[in-house]
Amino acid sequence: MKKILNFGFFQINWLGCIIGATTPYPWAFPLITVFYACIHFIYLSALAKEIYFSICLFAIALVWEYLFVNSGYIIYNGTDYLNIFGVPGWILGLWLMFILTINHSMLLMNRIFVVTPLLGAIFGPLTYLAGERLGAAILINKPASIIFIAISWGILFPLFIWIGKIFREKYYANLF
């Protein structure tokens, strides 16, 4: 049940952050994300380790988003508030929620790890296209943007799953 709730909260937050980016209050859902993350961390017995894991992946995500924003392939809406190095808070909220699924609702990905590059290459661009359609971003030079996202997510998704596996095995194998 916890894994279903984890995935459900991720989906709700994804939609909220995307739609929120198009409103005068793009900071609202990132704050809800932080609230959810606090609840998530409170209920874990390996609190410090999960926070450390989340910070490590969040750093990778921030660098990737910084490079993506500065590549000229994307323009995000809702960048007036809570933006770090030009990356809006709402997209960072999405990354945080995604990271919180890696060792929980995304555990299945370890069993099918061999296809995670393909899943990342397919679903990464689809989420950005959905976000664009909902008005949260504009993909500049769409074919090149989609290729960039597909290659990036074909690397990032398996990387995050692999790092999650390492953390689980090293720090808290008996907790999951």
Encoded amino acid at 130, one letter: A
Position 74 pLDDT exceeds 80: yes
Show the domain range for 35.
Answer: 2-175
The answer to pTM > 0.85 is no
Place of tokens 């996202």: 149
Do residues 21 and 77 make contact, with C-beta atoms less than 8 angstroms apart? Answer: yes
The pLDDT tens digits of the residues spanning 14-44 come to 777 777 777 777 677 777 777 777 777 777 6
Position 174 pLDDT exceeds 60: no
Q: Give the pLDDT of residue 10.
A: 75
Count of the separate structural domains present in the chain: 1
In angstroms, the Cα distances linking 72 to 91, 112, 126, 148 are 16, 34, 19, 11
d(CA 153, CA 145): 12
Structure confidence at residue 153 as a pLDDT band (50, 70, 90)? very high
> Helix crossing, 2-20 with 89-102: angle to 10°?
170
